[in-house]
Structures are given as structure tokens and as C-alpha cells.
């Protein structure tokens, strides 16, 4: 299978992917023997991808390697490839594919810098005892929290396929199965802070979710959340084709109104667009290496085909989402809602987008494309 992928890409996966990602025609490097195909791979129609839970789709192993754009999108970042010892169910393969693309413990683009800002903002006012609640977190965020705080993490997880995974990925957290708009495991008035990721984006009953979080917080409690909002009347469906559920995006104005009506006294937000786009770019910059790593770890047969298919769906979906963010159709913010009156700007510095160890890998792919 690796040989088929290399053949389709002409041996220049970084160049082809860089052209695809930037929307340019692919030009084969002059030094490549045999010429290579200078035409950019044709993009498959968006409607061919499932709107939600793509793991349920069955595919023959050859299906993933017949479209060179899918191959370019599927060559995801170098963390871990599926091993023979892992269960061959769709959920396990999907989670492994997401971690391969975005980094160990991550189910979406993210970074230590972004996680740290969420945690720092959450515990800023938490002077007394109490656990911290989480909704929609991934293992990386939970482990950053465990490394920076001695408090207990109470996790309400609405993605059923992720419950067992999170319990294993974050051993110090208490994971409870809940719904995104009905978080469980939170005692009323007990939490100094709650951190959530994309809860508003997928909650159907947003007012109910806001009310439950407000009740769970203590009198000085704070809700810190990273969320995507829409600036247009319609959510671009292709930007969420690989999501865990159908998106239910609201506008920033609608979220702020819900928070104030629930009783939060101060609502502030700061843009996280640049941080999220940098994290996505970093993940994509590692795509060329993953096929080599996957082949050396026994990525073959139906398991390998589904693994690459998951990578393709995720990469294409996030490419569309990144374009929507860059074009102003979508907006990503870090929100801070307090039950007490606060003044002044948020102490969240978003000036450091990528560190010295990140920038080189990110530039290497796109500079040569």
C-alpha cells in the first residue's frame, strides 16, 4: 500500500500536499527523475464525505489509495501508527488517526501554548478548594492540566467513542459519560472553574448547557471555553464533515446573550484564530512522514485502508475549516465567563503562536511547495 501511495504522489508528497493546501497547481520539482505529473490532483466532491461519524463507512483497502488528493490529505503527522495489538474497531482506528495527525493525546488541532492559556485562565481566580470540570477535553489538555494543577479533573465526555480512551489517556482524571448539553459528574455550587472545548459548537440545547454549568460553579466561579462561532447565516458543512456530530454553531452575540441571561456577570473573549490555524498548519506539515512510519509499524490491509481514510477525511475537513476561518466565515475564540464582576482585559497573551521547535517543521513543507 505504501508503494501505491508513493506512486500516486510521484514521490513528492510534501510538494503535492503543499500545493493542494494552498490551492495552487502542483509543479513537479525539476530534479525529480521521470518528470512526475505536474497537474494538481483533482479534489473529490465534498458530498462524497459523510457529514458525521465517518468511522461507520466501510471501504475496501484500494479505495483510499486511488485518489491522489486523498493520499496527500491522508499522509498525516508523525506520532503513532496503529499497532497489531490494538483493537480493529472503527473508533480505535479513528482516534489513532486523529492522534497521528494532530499529536499524541489530541483529537483536533491544538498546542501546549493553547492548552496552557485555557488552564491558566481557569485557575486564575480559583483560590479556594475544589475540582475543575471539563467538557469535550482531549487527553493532551487533561495532561497539561494535571502537570500545572494539583486539583482533580472531573470530565464529562459526550463523545461515546472517547470515554474509554480519555480514561486511559488521562489517568488522574475522573471521566463520566454525559451529553454535551447535559454534563454529568458536576455537583451544584462545587466547582471554581469549568473548561470546555467546542461545547457550544455541538450543543443542541445551549440554554440548558449554560444553566447547568452556571449551577455547577461556586459563587466566584469561572467558565473558560474554546469555541467556534459562525459569522454567516449558514455553517459551511464541508468544514465539519469529519466532526463527531452535526455542528450547531451560534453567533458570538447569541452566546454572549445566553451567558448573561444565565447570570454570568462578566463575559469576555479573545481571538484564538491564529493559534488554532498555527496548530493545524503544524499538523499538516508532518504529513509526508506518516506513511513511512505507518509502513514500518505494519499499516496494511483493511486496517491500514481505514486508517488512511480517516486521515483523509480529517485533513480535508480541517482544510475547509481553516479556509472558512481565514475567510471570516468562522471565528474561534477563548471565552471567559465569570459569576462575579471583573474589570480590565483578559490576561491571556496570544502573541506566541509557535515555538522555536515548531516553526521549522511548519515552514519546511510550505516553503518548498
Torsion (CA) 188, 163, 310, 276 in degrees, nearest 10: 40
CB distance 310 to 304 below 8 Å: no
The mean of the pLDDT values for the chain is: 78
Assign 303 a pLDDT band (cuts: 50, 70, 90). confident
Torsion (CA) 226, 231, 233, 234 in degrees, nearest 10: -50
Which of 65-69, 234-238, 314-318, 333-337 is least confident? 65-69
Write the pLDDT tens digit of every residue in 162-200.
999 999 999 889 999 999 999 999 999 999 999 999 999
How many residues appear in the chain? 369
Whether the pLDDT of residue 55 is over 60: the answer is: no
Write the pLDDT tens digit of every residue in 13-24.
556 556 665 666
Assign 266 a pLDDT band (cuts: 50, 70, 90). very high
Strand runs labelled E in the chain: 132-135, 153-157, 173-177, 191-197, 217-230, 266-271, 330-338
Write the pLDDT tens digit of every residue in 318-348.
999 999 999 999 999 999 999 999 987 787 7
Residue 244's closest CA among 180, 308, 156, 328? 180
Question: What is the rounded distance in angstroms from the CA atom of residue 347 to the CA atom of residue 222?
Answer: 14
Torsion (CA) 321, 326, 328, 334 in degrees, nearest 10: 80
Q: Which three cell numbers stand for residue 206?
A: 445551549
Question: What is the rounded distance in angstroms from the CA atom of residue 364 to the CA atom of residue 79?
Answer: 18
CATH numbers and ranges of domains, the chain: 2-106+281-322 (no CATH), 112-277+327-361 (3.40.50.150)
Q: Which three cell numbers stand for residue 350?
A: 496570544
Amino acid at each position: 500500500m505504501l508503494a501505491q501511495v508513493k506512486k500516486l504522489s510521484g514521490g513528492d508528497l510534501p510538494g503535492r500536499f503543499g500545493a493542494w493546501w494552498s490551492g495552487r497547481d502542483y509543479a513537479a520539482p525539476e530534479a525529480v527523475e521521470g518528470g512526475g505529473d505536474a497537474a494538481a490532483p483533482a479534489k473529490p466532491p465534498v458530498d462524497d464525505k459523510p457529514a458525521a461519524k465517518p468511522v461507520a463507512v466501510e471501504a475496501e483497502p484500494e479505495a483510499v489509495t486511488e485518489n491522489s488528493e486523498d493520499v496527500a490529505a491522508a499522509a498525516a503527522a508523525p506520532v503513532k501508527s496503529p499497532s497489531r495489538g490494538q483493537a480493529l474497531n472503527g473508533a480505535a482506528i479513528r482516534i489513532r488517526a486523529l492522534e497521528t495527525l494532530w499529536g499524541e493525546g489530541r483529537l483536533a488541532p491544538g498546542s501546549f501554548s493553547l492548552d496552557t492559556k485555557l488552564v491558566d485562565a481557569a485557575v486564575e481566580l480559583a483560590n479556594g478548594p475544589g475540582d475543575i470540570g471539563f467538557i469535550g477535553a482531549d487527553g493532551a489538555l487533561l495532561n497539561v492540566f494535571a502537570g500545572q494543577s494539583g486539583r482533580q479533573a472531573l470530565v464529562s465526555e459526550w463523545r461515546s467513542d472517547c470515554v474509554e480512551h480519555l480514561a486511559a489517556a488521562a489517568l488522574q482524571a475522573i471521566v463520566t459519560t454525559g451529553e454535551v448539553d447535559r454534563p454529568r459528574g458536576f455537583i451544584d455550587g462545587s466547582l471554581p472553574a469549568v473548561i470546555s472545548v467546542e461545547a457550544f459548537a455541538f450543543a443542541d440545547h445551549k440554554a440548558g448547557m449554560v444553566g447547568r454549568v452556571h449551577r455547577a460553579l461556586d459563587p466566584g466561579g469561572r467558565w473558560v471555553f474554546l469555541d467556534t462561532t459562525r459569522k454567516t447565516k449558514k455553517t459551511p458543512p464541508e468544514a465539519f464533515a469529519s466532526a463527531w456530530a452535526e455542528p450547531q454553531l451560534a453567533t458570538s452575540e447569541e452566546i454572549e446573550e445566553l451567558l448573561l441571561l444565565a447570570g454570568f456577570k462578566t463575559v469576555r473573549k479573545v481571538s484564538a484564530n491564529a493559534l488554532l490555524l498555527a496548530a493545524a498548519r503544524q499538523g499538516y506539515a508532518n504529513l509526508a512522514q506518516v506513511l513511512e512510519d505507518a509502513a514500518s509499524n505494519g499499516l496494511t490491509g483493511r486496517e491500514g485502508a481505514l486508517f488512511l481514510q480517516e486521515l483523509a477525511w480529517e485533513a480535508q475537513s480541517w482544510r475547509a475549516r481553516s479556509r472558512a476561518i481565514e475567510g471570516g466565515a468562522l471565528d474561534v475564540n477563548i471565552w471567559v465567563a465569570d459569576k462575579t464582576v471583573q474589570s480590565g482585559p483578559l490576561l491571556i497573551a496570544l502573541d506566541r503562536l509557535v515555538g522555536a521547535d515548531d516553526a521549522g517543521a511548519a515552514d519546511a513543507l510550505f516553503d518548498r511547495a
